[in-house]
Amino acid sequence: MVDKEVESTTLADPELLGKIDQLFACNIGEYIDLPQLVVVGDQSSGKSSVLEGLTKLSFPRNSGLCTRFATQIIFQRKVNFVGREISASIIPAPGLDANEEQKLRDWNATGLQTLSVEGFAQMMREVHKLLNLCDLHVIGTFGKPTFSNSVLRLEICGPREDHLSVIDVPGIFKNTVHGVTTKDDIVLVRDMVYNYMKNPRSVMLTVVPANVDIATQEIIEIAREIDPKGERTLPIMTKIDLVDQGTQNKVIDMIEDQNTSDQLGWVVVRNLGQQELEDGNVDRDVLEEKWHQTPPWNRVRAENFGINALRKRLQEVHTSHVRRTFPSVRSETTKKLDAARKALQSLGTERQTPEQQRMALLDIVSSFQKITQLALAANYSLDDIFDADQDVRLATLVSSRNVEFSDHVSTWGHEFAFTDGSQIEEIPAPELSEGLEESAEPSLKSTEELQPAKQHGVSFISSRRIQEDEEVQEILHNAVNLPQAKNGISIWMDTVYRESRGFEIGTFNHTLLSALMKKQSAKWSTLAQGYISDVIAMVHRFIKKVLLAACGNMRRSTNILTSLWDELTGKYRQAISHVDFLLKVERGGTPMTLNHYLNDSLQKCRQKRFKEALARKSLENCSHGEVIRVSDLSYCDNMSNAEHTVQDLHDILQAYYKVARKRFVDNVCMQGADHFLVTGTEAPMNLFSPSWVNSLSDEFLEQIAGEEGNTKRRRLQLQKEITDLEAGRKILLS
Of 133, 138, 129, 126, residue with least CA distance to 179:
138
The answer to whether residues 274 and 348 touch, using CB atoms and an 8 Å cutoff, is no
Q: Which residue, 258, 283, 303, sits at the end of a domain? A: 303
Please write down the long-range contacts of 623-628, taking CB distance under 8 Å and 24 or more positions apart. none
* Strand 70-77 to 85-91 pairing: unpaired
User: In 199-347, where does DSSP find H-type helix?
Assistant: 218-226, 248-259, 274-279, 284-292, 307-346
**Is residue 579 situated within a structural domain?**
yes
Can you tell me the mean pLDDT for 570-577? 96
* Contact partners, residue 111, CB within 8 Å, separation at least 6: 85, 87
Residue 93 shares a structural domain with residue 220: yes
The answer to whether residues 148 and 129 touch, using CB atoms and an 8 Å cutoff, is no
Residue 604 shares a structural domain with residue 538: yes
Residue 274 shares a structural domain with residue 380: no
The answer to whether residues 75 and 164 touch, using CB atoms and an 8 Å cutoff, is yes
Q: What is the DSSP letter of 670?
A: I
* Residue that wins the pLDDT comparison between 518 and 459: 518
* Strand 164-168 to 36-41 pairing: parallel
Residue 481 shares a structural domain with residue 578: yes
Question: Max alpha carbon distance in the chain (Å)?
Answer: 155
Residue 509 shares a structural domain with residue 647: yes
The structural domain count of the chain equals: 2
The answer to whether residues 35 and 29 touch, using CB atoms and an 8 Å cutoff, is no
CB crowding 24-53: b at 16 or more within 10 Å, else e:
bbbbbbbbbbbbbbbbbbbeebbbbbbbbb
The gap between the terminal CA atoms of the chain, to the nearest Å, is 36
Can you tell me the mean pLDDT for 534-554? 94
Can you tell me the mean pLDDT for 713-723? 88
**Is residue 345 situated within a structural domain?**
no
**Is residue 21 situated within a structural domain?**
no
Among the ranges given (48-62, 392-406, 410-424, 612-626), the one the predictor scored with the smallest mean pLDDT: 612-626
Rama region for 511: left / alpha / beta (φ>0; ψ in -120 to 50; rest): alpha
Q: How far apart are CA 600 and CA 622, in angstroms?
A: 32
Residue 188 shares a structural domain with residue 94: yes
Instruction: Provide the pLDDT for residue 447.
Output: 29
Residue type, 306: G
Q: How far apart are CA 18 and CA 25, in angstroms?
A: 11
The pLDDT tens digits of the residues spanning 388-405 come to 999 999 999 999 999 999
Q: How far apart are CA 528 and CA 582, in angstroms?
A: 10
Q: How far apart are CA 600 and CA 365, in angstroms?
A: 51
Q: What is the DSSP letter of 69?
A: S
Residue 290 shares a structural domain with residue 389: no
* Strand 164-168 to 151-158 pairing: unpaired
Q: DSSP letter string over 15-66?
A: HHHHHHHHHHHTTGGGTS---EEEEEEBTTSSHHHHHHHHH-------GGGS
* Residue that wins the pLDDT comparison between 602 and 592: 592
The pLDDT tens digits of the residues spanning 294-329 come to 888 888 888 889 998 998 888 888 888 888 888 898
* Residue that wins the pLDDT comparison between 415 and 712: 415
Distance of CA 627 to the CA centre of its chain: 83
* Contact partners, residue 126, CB within 8 Å, separation at least 6: none
Range of the domain at 201: 39-303
**Is residue 103 situated within a structural domain?**
yes
Residue 204 shares a structural domain with residue 283: yes
**Is residue 50 situated within a structural domain?**
yes
Residue 260 shares a structural domain with residue 364: no
Threshold 0.85, pTM exceeds = no
Residue 262 shares a structural domain with residue 158: yes
**Is residue 332 situated within a structural domain?**
no
The pLDDT tens digits of the residues spanning 273-292 come to 777 776 767 788 888 888 88
Among the ranges given (137-141, 257-261, 320-324, 348-352), the one the predictor scored with the smallest mean pLDDT: 137-141
**Is residue 315 situated within a structural domain?**
no
- Residue 131: give its domain's CATH number: 3.40.50.300
Strand ranges in 84-201 using DSSP code E only, listed in sequence order: 85-91, 108-112, 151-158, 164-168
Can you tell me the mean pLDDT for 521-536? 96
Q: How far apart are CA 322 and CA 662, in angstroms?
A: 85
